[in-house]
Amino acid sequence: MSLNKASIIGNVTANPKISLTKDGSKIASFTIATNEKWKSKDGTRQERVEWHRIVVYSDGLANIVERYVGKGSKLYVEGQLQTRKWKDKEGNDKYTTEIVLKGFNAVLHMLDSKKDNVAPQPQNNENKQQVREAFDDGMEDIPF
């Protein structure tokens, strides 16, 4: 038996990107920043920030992300860790570890109050087409 589960609370660092698969399913991707603060032995304040890639493969959750999640939104997400391999422009292998939300085990809770949670502006059709084309090309050059 094994368990692959990651859960974080943090703030969205930029408006989510919404793309479509070839079969028309929505995918939402965004980054959440988490931070840790402490005092060092000499009493100075320290802080460390981690950035976590989130990918939502559930149409229902992707619709919620598209409509209600924007830069600065505070979220609780729970999903599975997944590492994806891709090639950069020079042909070098690169790896990206993401928290993937799909299926019945995906959890996304918006922690902002309604008045604080402002939906992002929709992307124009040209941007959506560029994202769709990049996804269709296998995302070799896109490290997200």
pLDDT digit string, tens, across residues 31-61: 999 999 999 999 999 999 999 999 999 888 9
- Contact in structure between 144 and 94 (CB atoms under 8 Å): no
Q: In CATH, what number does 6-136 get?
A: 2.40.50.140
Instruction: Count other Cβ atoms within 10 Å, centred on residue 15.
Output: 19
How many Å apart are CA 106 and CA 31, to the nearest integer? 16
Phi, psi of 62, rounded to the nearest 5 degrees: -65, -40
Evaluate if residue 124 carries a pLDDT over 70.
no
pLDDT tens readout for residues 17-33: 999 999 999 999 999 99
Q: What predicted TM-score, i.e. pTM, was given to this entire model? A: 0.74
Where does the pLDDT of residue 114 fall: very low under 50, low under 70, confident under 90, or very high at 90 and above? low
Phi, psi of 130, rounded to the nearest 5 degrees: -65, -45
HSE (CB half, 13 Å, CA atoms) of 59?
Answer: 5
